[in-house]
Amino acid sequence: MLLKIHAIYQLTLKKLEVLDGIPPLLFRLILAPVMIIAGFNKLNLSNEQMTFPNTLLADPNVVNWFGNSDWGLGLPFPDLLAFLAGWSEFLGGWLILIGLFTRLAAIPLLFTMFIAATTVHWHNGWFAIAPTNPDTSAAQVLEWLSIPGAQASLDNSLEVGERLDKIKGIVQEHGFPDYLYEKGSIAVINNGIEFAALYFAMLLSLIFVGGGRYFSIDYWLKKLLTKES
């Protein structure tokens, strides 16, 4: 009986292989726009006051942020690092979008996300947007497992909720609530590592699986090269 169930399971997996290009496609569609616009904003590409080839260089404001140790990242060689980060994200994002050299494009982006998480977001904890209800916060699960820092996160959710209630009260009394809430409710941006970590995980997956079956140029190039050889 167990052998029969195992055989059915293996046959089902075999038939589902035709769809295994969908997960990397979805990862690419999520990642590409984020990386492209992040790189675009690090470069002078949209600066009409810049002349070629300066338009290819990093934005001076980004360079200052990379290099300044008081209010920025305090990194060495900020001109070079901002240039590399900008082009890794901008060019790499387009390559990931079309699924060309997917594994190679994901490698520098993986390092970019790691650096962003550890230098920009790390001290803010996990959440990108601070939860306001400890009962529905993912930190509640970590508290059940006695993970250090979980209770502090839950306490922070209570404080965030109190502050948001005060903001909403002020808006309700003195502001324009219908206008201000028309596009969505307000939130406290915690700026933690959440998004950087999720992008890191997706990029790591692409390094292992590539662009995916059918929906990437890599797949068709591989088929063409295999046929010719």
* 72, 172: one domain: no
Q: Which residues of 79-105 are buried (b: 16+ CB within 10 A; e: fewer)?
A: eebbbbbbbbbbebbebbbbbebbeeb
How buried is 49 (Cβ within 10 angstroms: 0-12 exposed, 13-18 middle, 19+ buried)?
exposed
Place 72 in a pLDDT band, splitting at 50, 70 and 90.
Answer: confident
Judged against a pLDDT cut of 80, whether residue 197 lies above it is answered with yes
> What per-residue confidence (pLDDT) applies to 171?
94
Greatest mean pLDDT range, 40-54, 176-190, 191-205, 215-229 = 191-205
* 49, 80: one domain: yes
> What per-residue confidence (pLDDT) applies to 165?
94
* 162, 49: one domain: no
In a domain, 8, yes or no: no
Place 2 in a pLDDT band, splitting at 50, 70 and 90.
Answer: confident
> What per-residue confidence (pLDDT) applies to 44?
94
| Global pTM value | 0.90
Q: How many domains does the chain have?
A: 2
Place 30 in a pLDDT band, splitting at 50, 70 and 90.
Answer: very high
* 86, 104: one domain: yes
The boundaries of the domain holding residue 142 are: 130-188
